[in-house]
Amino acid sequence: MAYIQFDKVNKFFGNNHVLKDISLEVNQGELVTFLGPSGCGKSTLLRCLAGLEKVTSGVINLNGVNITDLAPQKREIGMVFQAYSLFPNLTVEQNIAFGLHILHMDKKTIREKVHQVLAIVGLAEKLKCYPRQLSGGQQQRVALARSIVMEPKVLLLDEPLSAIDALLRRNLQIEIRRIQRELKITTLFVTHDQDEAIVMSDRIHLFNMGVIEQSGKSMELYAHPKTRFTATFIGNYNIVKSQEFGGLTGDTYACDVVAIRPEIIEISKVQPQGEATYCLKGEVCSHIPHGNIIRYTVACGDVLLNVDRLFDSSLLPQDHDIVYLSIKKENVLELN
Amino acid sequence: MKSKRTLATVYLIAVSFFLLFPLLITCIFSFVTSWTKLIPNGWTLEYYQQVIGQANFWPSVGRGLLISIIPVFISGLLIILTMYTSVLYYPWVDRVVQAICMLPHTLKGVILALAVLSMYVGSPTVLSDRILMLTMVYCVAILPYIYQGIRNNLDAINVQNLVEAAVILGSSKLYAFFKVIIPNMITGIMVSALLGMSTLFADFAIVKILAGGKYLTAQQLLYNSRSMPGQLVSVIVLILFLIVLLISAGALVIQNIGKKDADKAVVED
């Protein structure tokens, strides 16, 4: 039996139907990500689980108990917010001890727990600092410590890294994953960043306009998108109308569009051979470096295709060069 | 760069001098025997002795302080509790509260006092009590100051987020409000309270209308002293100014002590 169950959860804000019959399950100890663009309902679902929003209809079960109408204080759920939400008037120690004081724990136990959790997040020396004296990354680690010290049944992370710079963000992604695995906390993570979702998650639920577009393991979603939206949101797929693509390849497709990942397209100045491969002739429109890859935009007739190639200074096609693109037939995904 | 800084310093000194000049002259004047030429004719402490020696001076100061503090406390408490309710439960109420709290700005205190007096003076109930009337009118008169000060502070912190964070940690909303929100607003509350208190402490028109001779405050004493020598009036003004200054300084000291105590408690934990 799943640890967390959402059963046909609906949420309306006025006339706005934000969550539409959401049903999903999360197993104990998993890190599951709700991924999707702004306004897709992912944070709302998280807040419904926390009890900060009431569901309009549907049931939420946690460890076999119906918590749909339970007060947030009684759900034993921890939450880290995008804006940290540390209490500015309290020190790091007082912030972390806040929830423990409410449980009327004795001072010695509180002190021990606070020290333990600060050691886990690597901020033992910041015990007496106020939030304003910490960097964004440190504040977010304190917020994480404040949640995990309560030993919650579930930890909710609502876009906790979106206000942090790129380098620190990557480090914190790894850090959060390490802590989650170490403590085996069932964790729900909300983000709109597909890379972050792929790095951190055991499973991803991709949200779009209040419904789950696709669920699965990171690589499954990346390599086998089932809808056009998934292909666009994860993996920067080239989406081409099947008729247009058929005009280039000579094949016919029983679908609306075909999706091709930019990195599986081979680009060469020499015409390649092979029966199971489409070979398309085109002209390089532009090439833009993206860190360790170069993204080419190639015009094949009226169709523009993005092609990613690892940065290699030798024999790089230049703008206006005539090139050949080879695509294995099994890598052309047919979507509706 | 250096000349600009010099210019800024000169400007600041000039403005400070301009603002402090009346107080400085009042202070000097309170020590002079007479002042008929460019410089005073002589120096004396006689006027201080006279004022401090007056039997009704200190009691009137005490009454002035009391009638300033109580309405500030009542209004402050009312506004804080109203804001707690409106921010966390009924956000739409906030605009109504704002409109109500700003109303006294459009209504002069004297008009308010006269209206209240004519309405309640004949009442056979406790409402006809002059001191009660005065307290309640003062509560209304300082609402704009108290409300706006607290509102500005509340806007500067994300109340909803902080309360949600506290609730997730097991706290009730009320506990979170008093443990987390109020301490973050304490400076604003103190400033509003002091502003309200100094406004009330300086009033003599409303107190004269509502309480008449039944409740002699320091401001009334000052008003009554207008026919006395100017030095005596200067002494009273100066003493009243020092009292307000001491109250402000005292509030700041209390605030800092509170903060240090909180820090100390954490260390001892």
Predicted-assembly ipTM surpassing the 0.90 threshold: no
pTM value > 0.90: no
Whole-number Å distance between alpha carbons of B93 and A249: 65
Query: Cβ separation of B162 and A128 shorter than 8 Å?
Result: no
Query: Cβ separation of B180 and A146 shorter than 8 Å?
Result: no
Q: Least CB-CB distance to A102: which of B164, B165, B169?
A: B169
A54 in reach of chain B (CB within 8 A): no
Cα nearest neighbour of B163 on chain A? A85
Residue B170 to chain A, least CA–CA distance (Å): 4
Whole-number Å distance between alpha carbons of A39 and B251: 47
A98 in reach of chain B (CB within 8 A): yes
pLDDT tens over chain A, length 336 residues? 799 999 999 999 999 999 999 999 999 999 999 999 999 999 999 999 999 999 999 999 999 999 999 999 999 999 999 888 999 999 999 999 999 999 999 999 999 999 999 998 888 899 899 999 999 889 999 999 999 999 999 999 999 888 778 888 888 888 889 889 988 999 999 999 988 999 889 999 999 999 999 999 988 998 899 998 999 888 789 999 998 998 888 888 888 899 999 999 999 888 877 677 888 899 999 999 888 889 999 999 889 999 998 887 666 788 888 999 999 988 899 888
Whole-number Å distance between alpha carbons of A137 and A40: 26
A79 in reach of chain B (CB within 8 A): yes
Cα nearest neighbour of B173 on chain A? A73
Q: Please classify residue A178 by burial: count the beta carbons closer than 10 Å to its beta carbon, then call 0-12 exposed, 13-18 middle and 19+ buried.
A: exposed
B171 in reach of chain A (CB within 8 A): yes
Q: Least CB-CB distance to B171: which of A85, A89, A102?
A: A102
User: Which of B63, B54, B24 has the alpha carbon at shortest distance from B215?
Assistant: B63
A73 in reach of chain B (CB within 8 A): yes
Please tell me the predicted confidence (pLDDT) of residue B244: 82
Query: Cβ separation of A93 and B183 shorter than 8 Å?
Result: no
* Helical pair B182-201 and B130-141, crossing angle rounded to 10 deg: 120
Whole-number Å distance between alpha carbons of A234 and A222: 6
Other beta carbons within 10 Å of A210: 21
A126 in reach of chain B (CB within 8 A): no
Query: Cβ separation of A85 and B175 shorter than 8 Å?
Result: no
Residue B170, both tokens: 């097991």
User: Which of B179, B207, B194, B197 has the alpha carbon at shortest distance from B253?
Assistant: B194
Q: DSSP secondary structure string, A187-208?
A: EEEEES-HHHHHHH-SEEEEEE
Question: What strands, in cross-sheet order, belong to the sheet with A4-13?
Answer: A16-26, A4-13, A57-62, A65-66
B129 in reach of chain A (CB within 8 A): no
Q: Give φ, ψ of A185 to 5 degrees.
A: -85, 130
Say how far residue B52 (Cα) sits from the centre of its chain. 24
* Chain A contact set for B180 (CB, 8 A): 87, 89-90
* Chain A contact set for B185 (CB, 8 A): none
Domains of chain B (ranges, CATH numbers): 1-44 (no CATH), 57-268 (1.10.3720.10)
Contacts of A280 (CB under 8 A, 6+ apart): A248, A249, A300, A305, A324, A325, A326, A327
